[in-house]
Each structure stands twice: as C-alpha cells, then as structure tokens.
Structure 1
Amino acid sequence: MAPIAASPMPLLAWSCAQVALAAAGTCLARRYALRRRLLDHPGERRSHRVATPRGGGVAIVACLLVTALALSWWYPGERMLLLAGGAGLLLVAAVGWIDDHRALSAGLRLAMHAVAGLLLGAAVLHAGHGPLLAASGVLATLVLVNVWNFMDGIDGLAASQGAIAAIGYGVLASAGPEGGAAVVLAFSLGAACLGFLPFNFPRAAIFLGDVGSGALGLALAWLLVLLAPRLEQGPAHWALLLLPLSAFLVDAALTLGTRMLRREAWWRPHVQHAYQCWARRIGRHPPVTLAYAAWSGAAVLTMLATRGLDARYIIAAAAAWCLAGGWAWAILRAGASPPGKEQAHE
C-alpha cells in the first residue's frame, strides 16, 4: 500500500477521518468524565467559573497513536522514530491521565517526561542523525510538554495553537522534495485538534486535561525532530521551526522567568501569564484565543515565506518576531488587573 502522503486526496481523506475520530472520542471522554465526576472546579488559580469535565485530550492521543502505527508500516525507513515518538506519547499521556484522576508529584511527572524525551533522542541516534539533534529532541520534549501544560488555561487556546503549528509544519514538509511521515503526522495532529475544538471553544464543554496538553507538547517535539533534518539550513532551521510556537514560548518563558526572579514557586498553578491577565481584564476568553491564533497564523506565514532565505535573514526575522512578542507580553501584563480582582470564565 502506497504512503498516503504521496497524493493530496488520500491525505485529505485521512485527515477528515482523524477529525471524525477525535470528535467521537471527545464525546466519549466527556461522558466518562461526567460519570466519574472528573471535573476542574473554579478557584483562585483557575480562569473559569463553572465546573467543567477534563480529559478530552485522550481523543487526540488515540488519533496520533493510530497514525503512528500506520506510518510505521508505510515508512519503514522512519519506523524507529515513529515508534519511539508513539511510545513517548503514550507515556506522557498515561502520566497525564493518571494526574487528571489523582494528583501526582511534579518530580514524578517531570521524570516521565524526561524518559519520553530520551526515547525520542535514542531513536534519533539510531536513525543516524547527530547527537545535537538527539539532544535537541530531548530538550524540545521537556520544554514543549510543560509549556503546553502551563499555557492550557482558557477556552480553545492550547488546542488551537497546536492545530495552527501542526498544519503549518505539514505545509512546510509538503513543500520539500520528500515530506515523508512528517507530512501525515503533522496534518493528523492538526485534524485531531480541529475535531476536539468544537467541544472546547468558544465555551468549553470539556478541557484537554493533562493527558491532552502534555500529549500536544510531545507531538510537536516529535514533529520538530522529524522536520529538522529535511530543512538543510544548519542552526537556522531551529529558528524557522520555532516561529509557529512563539506565542506560547514567549509568554511561558517571560512569565516563568519573572516568577523565578520574584522567588515564587514557578511550577505551581497561577494566573499570571499574559493570556490569563488579558482574559481576566476583558472577562472573556474567545477574543484572547483568536488573537493568539492570529499571531501564530502570521508566524506560520513568516516561516513559510522565509524558508528559502539566507540563514542570517531567517535568524534575524525570528529574533525580531520574538522581540515583538515580548513587547506585546509586557503591554498585556502591565495593563491587567491583579489576580483575584476579576475572574474570566470558561
């Protein structure tokens, strides 16, 4: 059987099937969460006012695992990377699923995330790539799994950002001479997020939960590892690939850095991210989610437009983009009311 990435129509059919699978899985996950009373309750460190089921991200995990198994058959040359990424995804999702049911320690969660990253890094070395890419895969796993967990705080934000980045990576991979498994994995992730989003935006009927937010971060790190060797632009390819993630990376890095400087317990839940401050000030989530989506959509277009440029211009464009994001972060945080004065709803 020929790989579905070889022709647009089979890829479109596969993506539509992933949308339907994710939507059906989210319905089942919501019924399960309601039956088990698996709810996120409002509180001082949360941005919603209504008790809401969590764990809907398990549907996205199911879609990606099906895709990984299919791709390991279609692309035997990339089988180790695909199976290692799938195993890491399953590990991160399992830890998140348990944590959604009963709280686990931050140290244990981080240790499991590290194991998932090491699996991906080992597969990179086994595939014949250098230690730099392997180390980058481990680091990307640790960073993105936790960034997506930190930034999953208002309706539709984490899933929409995952969808935009994934679709952007799919288009980028399709533009190359041979996108391989990365094309299918990217569009599958985007499709799964789109199948979940109607249940999470504009008003959430279910949240991703740790099972979903962690899985999104792992899947994006997995895509980065698959895509980086195809760009052939040296260190500049990382600047290029990080553009679609810039909204989350800038917000998370500056917010957590500020908390560290204040000697606060930065790993604990809080409502100090720029998106939380903005949502709290206006009392609504959809405008914030849509604004972040517009930023990331523009970042994807920038990534695609600058791909063929000299490495110096790519790095300069990425640096300017992140500086603009930092400026926007400062404005949003400066104009926000203190936590507790206003509470947005989900």
Structure 2
Amino acid sequence: MSSVWLVPVVFASAFILTALLRRYALSKSLIDIPNDRSSHTIPTPRGGGVAIVVTFLAALCLLFAGELIPTGLFVSVMGAGAVVAIIGFMDDHGHIAARWRLLGHFVAAAWALYWLGGLPPIHALGLVFDLGWAGASLAAVFLVWMLNLYNFMDGIDGIAGVEGISVCLGACVLYALGARDGPILPALLLASSLAGFLMWNFPFARIFMGDAGSGFLGMILGIFSLQAAWLSSDLLWGILILLGVFIVDATFTLLRRLFHGEKIYEAHRSHAYQVASRRCGKHWPVTMGVGLINLLWLLPIAISVTQCNLDGVIGIVLAYTPLVILASKCQAGRVEAA
C-alpha cells in the first residue's frame, strides 16, 4: 500500500476542516476574548485543533489497515490521543474541574504506556538504567507534563504548530539518517495535518488551536518520544533535544512561579516566548525564531547524539543550557508589573 498520497490529502483535509471549524466556532460564539492575561488583542475563534486530531487519527487508521504502523503504537496513539482530545474539546466548550482533567490525563498516559510496554532501559553516561515500575511512573508524569506544557506554550500565533512541525520533521531526519525502523510515516502525517491547520493560524491567527488540539499534540509527541526509546536510547535523547524550546520555557517558568509562591494553575503571560512577543510587538518573529532555533541549534545536536556518539545527557545539557539562559534573560516566570 503506497502512502505518499496521504501527505497532501491530510494537508488539504486539515486545511478544509479548520475552515469549517472556524465557521462552527463563530456560529456557536466559541470565541477567545482577550484579557489582561492574554497575548492577543483581537477576539478569535478557538477549537481549530480538532482538525489536527481528526485528520491525523483518520490517516493513522489507514496506515494500520495497510500494516504500516505497529499495533502497539497505533492503539496507544488512538486511545490516549482520543481521550485527551475529548477532554480538551469539552473544556473548550465549558470548564472542567482541574482534578477531573488531570485524572483523565493520567488515564490516557497509563493507556499509552500499557500499549507501548512502559519505559525501556535507558542508556546514559555509559550506564544502563532499568527503572521498572518507577520508570513507568516517571514516564506517565512525563506524558502528562508534555500535554499540559503544550497547552501552556500555545499562546501566540503559530508557535505550537511550528514547534510540532519542527519536531516531527526533525524526528524523521533522525530516523532516516540512522536507517531506523521508526514511525517516520506517522510523524510525517502529523506534520502535514499541522501544516494544514497552520494556514489558518500563522502569520496571524484566524482561529486558535484550543485545548483539544494542543493537549493532543503534546501527548502524541510524548508517545513518539517513548516509542523511540524502545528503538534506541539515542533516539529518545534526540527527540527530547528537539523538544527543548517548549520543555525549557514551560518548566523554567513553572519552577520560578512555584519559587515565588504564585498560583501555578492561574492563567498568566510570563513564559519567555510571551515576554519576547511583547518586546517585539509582534508574534511572528518569535514563532519564526523558535523554528530557527529548532533547525539551526537543536537538530544538529540531536544528530550528533544519534550519529556521532555524543552522550545523550551531555547533548541535553549542551542543547538546553542556552535556552535556560534565554528564559532567564526574558525573566520568564516573573510577575508582570502592573
């Protein structure tokens, strides 16, 4: 079964479905109204990320029918992705208590890990770490953090889509260079669905992704990371490096807000990318900057880990250190002056 035709079909389907979702959001008054915690100034429809969910999962079903994707990865993505997307869709339409959202997120993570087989032994610094149940628990926390940090980082035009496309295509490069039997097709199709949505979200947003799309995207990229670990620890480190901009900004901001006694569940606009967008006065330079960091800094380091025997932990430190400095320079996590 040839699958090349799926790439343009998924792109066109996501583009068209996003347009339909925009009309639906306008008709149902599903509008994000700017407030003092927003990075936007114009009321904008939300929920366009459903197009990403529907087109990607439909394409995944075709891959599975053609025996082009492992059963474990297929069931993991379909189950966990659907649960996260449904929770996000319901939250986009009406608030769901944080405790129930979190419970649903951990259920989705547990489902994903069951079908992936948990967390394999990890090679780092010349040692092998087989963490067993502790590793599985750590992996569940990682998946839940990935989907929530993606929600946090989806705050300016195009940034979530550009990050997702960069990571997916970067992962394809890592698999191709190493001739690995990895999920190149799923990653390529996720990038294609994101590109179709991005036509409506960048350089200025005519519709937002919403929690259904951003949470789904974070969960799927987390699953791709853990699935890569079963192929090679180097691939896990490589994909974590590719995710560096979002992981560092979200984690640095959260930890600083915790340190200063802020309520971390409250909306804010103190992430480094939000501060940078205010300083620029525009969103698109920051979004393009993220893409360039991924291409020119993080991808070469990820390739060095997977192809040049650079230790994964050293690669993470090398990749993340300038990002931490950048977040500090932007004063990420600081309370904005009134």
**What is the count of residue pairs matched by the alignment?**
327
Is the aligned partner of 1:246 residue 2:244? yes
Q: Aligned with 2:257: secondary structure?
A: helix
Distance 1:27 1:303, change over 3 A: same
Equivalence for 1:153: 155
Distance 1:340 1:64, change over 3 A: farther
Equivalence for 1:52: 44
After superposition, residues 35-114 of structure 1 pair within 5 angstroms as: 35-75=27-67, 78-114=70-106
Is the aligned partner of 1:303 residue 2:302? yes
User: Aligned to 2:290, which of 282, 289, 292?
Assistant: 292
User: Aligned to 2:12, which of 9, 13, 20?
Assistant: 20
Q: Aligned with 1:199: secondary structure?
A: coil
Distance 1:191 1:337, change over 3 A: same
Deviation at 1:135, TM superposition (A): 4.4
Is the aligned partner of 1:121 residue 2:121? no
Deviation at 1:205, TM superposition (A): 0.1
After superposition, residues 200-211 of structure 1 pair within 5 angstroms as: 200-211=201-212
Deviation at 1:64, TM superposition (A): 1.7
The 8 Å contact of residues 42 and 49 in structure 1, kept in 2 or not, is answered as yes
**C-alpha distance in 1, partners of 2:114/2:44?**
39
Residue type matched to 2:216 in 1?
A
Unaligned runs of 5+ residues in structure 1 are 5-9, 342-346
**C-alpha distance in 2, partners of 1:197/1:259?**
31
Deviation at 1:248, TM superposition (A): 0.6
Equivalence for 1:169: 171
After superposition, residues 222-261 of structure 1 pair within 5 angstroms as: 222-231=223-232, 234=233, 236-261=234-259
Deviation at 1:237, TM superposition (A): 4.1
Residue type matched to 2:247 in 1?
L
Q: TM-score, normalised by structure 1?
A: 0.88
The 8 Å contact of residues 168 and 187 in structure 2, kept in 1 or not, is answered as yes
Equivalence for 1:7: none
Distance 1:87 1:286, change over 3 A: same
Between 314-323 and 21-30, report the one with greater CA deviation: 314-323
Q: TM-score, normalised by structure 2?
A: 0.90
User: Aligned to 1:326, which of 324, 327, 333?
Assistant: 324
Residue type matched to 1:244 in 2?
L
**C-alpha distance in 2, partners of 1:226/1:171?**
16
**C-alpha distance in 1, partners of 2:327/2:82?**
33
Between 198-207 and 317-326, report the one with greater CA deviation: 317-326
The structure that is helix-richer by fraction is 1
Unaligned runs of 5+ residues in structure 2 are 122-129
Identity %: 31
**C-alpha distance in 1, partners of 2:69/2:22?**
38
**C-alpha distance in 1, partners of 2:71/2:226?**
14
Q: Aligned with 1:288: secondary structure?
A: helix
The 8 Å contact of residues 119 and 139 in structure 2, kept in 1 or not, is answered as no
**C-alpha distance in 1, partners of 2:195/2:146?**
20
